[in-house]
Every structure is written in structure tokens, then in C-alpha cells.
A and B are shown apart, each in its own frame.
Chain A
Amino acid sequence: MGRIVTNESANSEASSVLSLFGAVLKRDLMLAYRKKSDLFNPLIFFLMVATLFPLGVSPEPDFLAQIAPGVVWVAALLATLLSMESVFKSDFEDGTLEQTLLSPQPLFVIVLAKVLAHWMMSGLPLTLLAPLLAVMLFLPAEGMSGLMLSLLIGTPTLSLVGAIGAALTVGLRKGGVLISLLVLPLYIPVLIFGTSAVQAAVTGLPLAGFFALLGAILALGLVLAPLAISAALRISVSG
């Protein structure tokens, strides 16, 4: 009898957590949809950076093919970084962040939903756009799957880690530069394994190892980053 009751309460708790997650996700996606500039800025930046390389360095296909994995990954990384500042900023400014922190609901879940919403509006479209850039930079077709998959597993980590920086600097008037300083060093492992995966794909080497590493970093980020983000938000709002 007692066990059934626990099961039921656990069930209702799980469903309430899910509905909370859904409500936050839906709200943030709706906000992004209504404020489209936030949505398109990083994407346009991503495209521009990649088009500048053939113009500025060399339009030679062989050369471009060689730097393509790195260029696409660096551009994706910087585009994510650019979009990071807005994650908590408007919530902080209009007071909804205070109300979020005063909620009795688990902040871990709320933060995770917000980061997922951010990724769906930055990392995911970047991943979908990447093949276009790859073609522009003459990346061999064999590298395409590696590029897409590595971005798919890597960009959520970028959002998670970036959100820690955004949460720490949300109370500052000009936090943008500081986010870069805080977060860029932490992006380096993702960048290394991400580009290595693409290069391995191009040369026909096995990819599983790189994806496993990227996946491991993502798993670690999913568990730990929301804790750090929550704590950072409390500090920022308290100050």
C-alpha cells in the first residue's frame, strides 16, 4: 500500500516537473519568436564570418577545404558566445528573474529549460546552417556528417557553459566582454574535439572516440552546469 502511494506521489512530482519544464521552454521560445532580432543576429554573424575567410585569406579551394572544419567551428562558437548575453539579461531587467528565483519550483529544471530554449534558437539552427558554409568552404562531402554530428553534440555544451558566464555577469552593466573572458577558455576542449572529429571524418579515420568525448563533456555539463548557473543567478540578483 505504502509503496503504491510513494509511486503515485513520485509520478505526480515527475509530471509537475515536466509541465514546469514545458512551460518555461514554451515561454522562452515564444519570447524569441516575438523578438526575432535575437534569433537572427547570431545566424547572420555565423554566415558573415565564414564568408570573410575566402575574401580575406585565400579563395583557393584546396586551402579552404583544409581550414573549413576550424572556420565553421570557430564561427559557430563565436556566434553562440554572441547570443549568450541575452539569455538572462531581459529577465533580469524586467524583474521576472527575481520572480523565478522566488519560485518554490526547482531552479535546476527552470535553468535547464531556459538553456535548452537558447540552444534551440542558436546551436540547432547553426548546426542546420553548417552544411551550407561547409559547401562554400569546399569541405569534402565525407566531412559533412562529422561536422553536423559534432556540432549537434558540441553546441549544447557551449550553451550550458556560456550560460554560467551569462548568469555571473547578468547584474553588470557591460557584461558582454567579461562573458567572453570567462567562457572562452572553457570552450577550448569542445573546439578541439569538434574540429578533430570533422578532420577525422574527412580523412576517413574512425570518429566514435571524438563523439564519445564530446558526449561525455555534454553529459557532465548537463548535470553540473545548471547547478552553477543557479548559484550564479542567486549571487547576481542578490548583489
Chain B
Amino acid sequence: MSTALLHVDKLYCERDDRILFEDLSFAINAGEVIQVEGQNGSGKTTLLRILSGLSNHYEGDIFWKGSLLSTVQDDFRRELLYFGHHPGVKAVLTPEENLHWYAAMHPSIDGKKIAMALEQVGLRGFEDSPCHTLSAGQNRRVSLARLYLTSAKLWILDEPFTAIDKKGVAQKEQLILDHAANGGSVILTTHHELAISEKVRRFNLDELAGT
């Protein structure tokens, strides 16, 4: 039996005396796309932050390729791309400078293809404009351009499609499918109806919530 890429065992998390989820166990294998569903405040973002290693307010175990996550943090981070609630874009830097910084921070991001990635996300011609002059959607596109540059195996995407236009969403969905086809895994949350939903495994946090 091959070990799952990421394996979560009996995860329990509470916030302000409210149980967000308990006894949550699941595994993500290579090539899988998982959509976490749930209403606002059901703990989707909290779950993604726990899985990415940002938050440690939980009980239970998370395994990365069979070893406990806390013992293989560095290996895990090398193969992780996290797109958070905040896009992680510096307003006074240009899209190009932002992505160069990402490339310096994350060796999995290829700094040589930045021009290509910016063109893919439709930001050609905006390379040298500071990001605060761009729209909200364009700012998120800057951060999403990382998807074209990364060699990370696991993508954790928190609401990646917010403020992105229809064409952009379709493009990103295709990108996610391609990534899965190449043996990568994706965990995402979104309120969009995914056009690729038949290839996506879903689970709903509302059904798992404690009473």
C-alpha cells in the first residue's frame, strides 16, 4: 500500500469554545483534488491553515508522506504552495518584483519564467505598475501567477477564485486539473460552482461539525 501524500488523523479544533470539527480523518493521494465545503464560519480557512502548518491550534495528527508533519516541516514546505486569505502581494512593489521575491523565498518557484506567468494571468503590460494601482482581482492574479511557476506538489488554495473573472476561473480550473494529472494534489475552498466538479472529491465541514 502506498502511503498517502497527506494524511489527517482524528483532527480536532475548537475556536472560542465552539467545536469547528472533531474526529476529522481523511487522506489525500497524489493526483487528487479536494474541495472543502461549508458555510461561512464553518472552519474552512482554519482547516487549511492547520494543514499548511501555519496554525497549530489543533489536536490529532497530520502525516506528510507517512511521517509526522512536525518532524518533516522543511521537506513539507519545499513541496507546498499556499494561497491564503490575503493574497500575499506587496502593494508598493510591482507584480514582477513580488514574484521575484517569491522565487527567492521558495526554491520551488522558478524565477526565470515570471514574464511568461504574468502573461498567462493577463497582467502583461502591468509588469512595472505598483500593485496598489491594480484592481483587487489583478492583485490576486499576481499571487495566482505562482501556480504557473511552481514545482510544488501540494497546493492549498483558500478561495482562489474570489474577484477573478469567469475566463480566469476557467483557466485556473484547467491548471488545477493539469496539476492533478501530473501527480500533484490540490486542496481548495471556493463558493464558485466548479466546472470540473466531477473530478473533485468534496467534503463538507458542516456535516462534520460537533453538536
**B24 contacts across to A, CB distance below 8 A:** none
Q: Is the CB of B93 within 8 A of A102?
A: no
Interface string of A97-128 (1 = CB under 8 A from B): 01111111100001000000000000000000
Q: Is the CB of A95 within 8 A of B78?
A: no
* Residue B38 at the chain A interface, CB threshold 8 Å: no
Chain B proximity of A29: nearest CB distance (Å): 12
Chain A interface SS verdict (over half):
helix
A84 to B74, CA, bound (A): 29
Q: Is the CB of B90 within 8 A of A102?
A: no
Q: Is the CB of A24 within 8 A of B104?
A: yes
Q: In the complex, identify which listed stretch (B4-12, B48-56, B171-179, B186-194) lies at the interface while the others stay far away.
A: B48-56
Q: Is the CB of B88 within 8 A of A95?
A: yes
Q: Is the CB of B54 within 8 A of A102?
A: yes
A98 to B53, CA, bound (A): 10
Q: Is the CB of A102 within 8 A of B101?
A: no
Interface size class of B (residues with CB under 8 A): 20 to 34
Interface string of A13-49 (1 = CB under 8 A from B): 0000001100110010011001100000000000000
Q: Is the CB of A98 within 8 A of B86?
A: yes
Interface string of B79-97 (1 = CB under 8 A from A): 0101011111111110001
Are A31 and B57 also in contact (CB < 8 A) when A94-B87, A105-B105 are? no
**A8 contacts across to B, CB distance below 8 A:** none
Q: Is the CB of A94 within 8 A of B101?
A: no
* Residue A217 at the chain B interface, CB threshold 8 Å: no
Chain A proximity of B167: nearest CB distance (Å): 25
Interface centre among A96, A238, A239 (most CB of B within 10 A): A96
Q: Is the CB of A95 within 8 A of B85?
A: yes
Residue in B56, B84, B86, B93 whose beta carbon sits within 8 Å of that of A238 in the complex = B56
Chain B proximity of A23: nearest CB distance (Å): 4
Are A35 and B92 also in contact (CB < 8 A) when A95-B87, A99-B105, A103-B106 are? yes
Q: Is the CB of A104 within 8 A of B54?
A: no
Which B residue sits closest to A92, measured CB to CB? B86
Which B residue sits closest to A96, measured CB to CB? B88
**B101 contacts across to A, CB distance below 8 A:** 23, 27, 96
**B78 contacts across to A, CB distance below 8 A:** 104
* Residue A228 at the chain B interface, CB threshold 8 Å: no
Residue in B82, B90, B91, B130 whose beta carbon sits within 8 Å of that of A98 in the complex = B82
9 A-B contacts (beta carbon < 8 Å): A20-B104, A90-B90, A93-B86, A95-B89, A96-B88, A98-B84, A99-B105, A103-B77, A103-B106
The 5 closest A-B pairs by CB, nearest first: A95-B86, A23-B104, A95-B88, A104-B77, A34-B92
